A and B are shown apart, each in its own frame.
Chain A
Amino acid sequence: MKDLVRQKISINVDIMDLLNQQIKKEAHSSSAYLAMASWCDQNGLNYSAEFFYKQSEEEREHMLKIFKFINDNGGTAYSPEVKSVMHEFNSLQEIFEAALDQEIEITKSIHSIVFKARKVQDLSSEYFLQWFINEQMEEEQKMRRVLELFDLMGTDGIALKLIDERVKDI
C-alpha cells in the first residue's frame, strides 16, 4: 500500500490541528490588540493606540504565516472565528498587563507545539516554529519594558502622558 498521506502532506496531521488552533489564538490576539487600540484612542493615548494597531497587524501577520505554512505543505488551514474580545479596561497599565499575559499564553502554546513536533519527529514544523520562539521573546520583552515604565513613573498626573509618549520608542 502506498503512503499516500506522506505524498500529499509534508507535516504531521496532529501538528496541523495544533497549528490550526494556533491560527485561532493569533487571530484572537490580533482582535484583542485592536480592542486595546480602540480604548487608547478613546482615552487620548495616541502613541499607545498606534502601538496596539501595529501589534494587531503583527499578530495577523503571524496568523497568515502559519496559515500559509499549512496550505503550502499540503494541509488545510481553516479561517478562524474570533469570539469574546474584551473591550473594557480600567487603565493603560491594566491593558499592558493583559497584553503581556496574552503574549505569555501564545509563547506557551508555541512551545507546546514544538514539543509535540519533536515527539512525532516533524522536523519541518519544528524548524518553522523556531522563528516564532524568537519572535515571542521579543514580544514579551516589549510589554515588560512598558510595564517597567509604570513601575518607574507611576500613573499619577503627567506620568501617564509621559509613558504614552515613550511607548512609541519601544
Chain B
Amino acid sequence: MNLLYKSYYYSSYQCDNKRCFFVDFGDKPVKLSFCQLLALRQKVNSIDLNAHFDSNSNSHGIEILTLCNREHILILDTLQVIDLKQLIKSTFGMLELHALVAQTI
C-alpha cells in the first residue's frame, strides 16, 4: 500500500493490488472505491466550517458523516473536521501530482 497523505489524525493510502483506497481514521481503517472516495470528498467539502463557530448554526460543534452507503458512521469535532478537510485536499493533490509525474516519465 502506498501512503498518499498523513494528516494529524488521519492518513490515506492507495492499494494497487486491490485497486482501491484506504483511509485510516485512527481506530478505524476504511476501504473505499474511487467512487466512494469521491463521495467522501463531496461530503467533506460541503461541510460549512463557519457554522462550527456560530452557536446558532451548529451549537454542538460536531459533524456526523456516513461513508460507503452508510456502512460506516463518523462523528467528528471541529478540529477533526479541519484535519479531514486537509487530508482530502492533500490526498487529491497527491493523486494529481502522481498523474502528472506518470505522464512526464
- A2 vs B42: C-alpha distance when bound (angstroms): 23
Indicate if B39 sits at the interface (CB-CB under 8 A).
Answer: yes
A96 to B16, CA, bound (A): 55
Q: A76-B39, A78-B42 known; A3 and B92 CB under 8 Å?
A: no
Q: Does A8 contact B (CB under 8 A)?
A: yes
Number of residues on chain A facing chain B (CB within 8 A) = 15
Contact of A1 with B14 in the complex, beta carbons under 8 Å: yes
Partner of A4, one of B16, B38, B41, B92: B16
* Interface residue B19 (Cβ < 8 Å from any Cβ of A): yes
How extensive is the interface on chain B, given as a class? 10 to 19
List the B side residues contacting A13 at CB < 8 Å: 38, 41, 92, 96
Interface status of B95 (Cβ within 8 A of chain A): yes
- Which residue of the partner chain, among B2, B16, B39, B99, contacts A5 with CB atoms under 8 Å? B99
Assembled-state Cα–Cα distance A1/B98 (Å): 8
Report if A104 contacts B (CB, 8 A): no
Instruction: Contact check, A6 vs B16: say whether CB atoms are below 8 A apart.
Output: no
**Known contacts being A2-B16, A4-B14, is A75 close to B38, with CB within 8 Å?**
yes
A62 and B53 CA atoms in complex are apart in Å by 38
Whether A3 lies near B102 (C-beta < 8 A) is yes
With A13-B92, A78-B42 known to touch, is A1 a contact of B2 (CB < 8 Å)? yes
A8 and B34 contacting across the interface, CB-CB below 8 Å: yes
> Which residues on the B side are within 8 Å of A76 (C-beta)?
35, 38-39, 42
Which B68-105 residues have a C-beta within 8 angstroms of A? Answer: 92, 95-96, 98-99, 102
Could you tell me which B residues sit within 8 Å of A by CB distance? 2, 14, 16, 19-21, 34-35, 38-39, 41-42, 92, 95-96, 98-99, 102
Which chain A residues have a beta carbon within 8 Å of chain B's beta carbons?
1-9, 13, 16, 74-76, 78
21 contacts between A and B (CB under 8 A): A1-B2, A1-B14, A1-B16, A2-B16, A3-B98, A3-B102, A4-B14, A4-B16, A4-B21, A4-B34, A5-B34, A5-B96, A5-B99, A6-B99, A7-B19, A9-B34, A13-B92, A74-B34, A75-B38, A76-B38, A78-B42
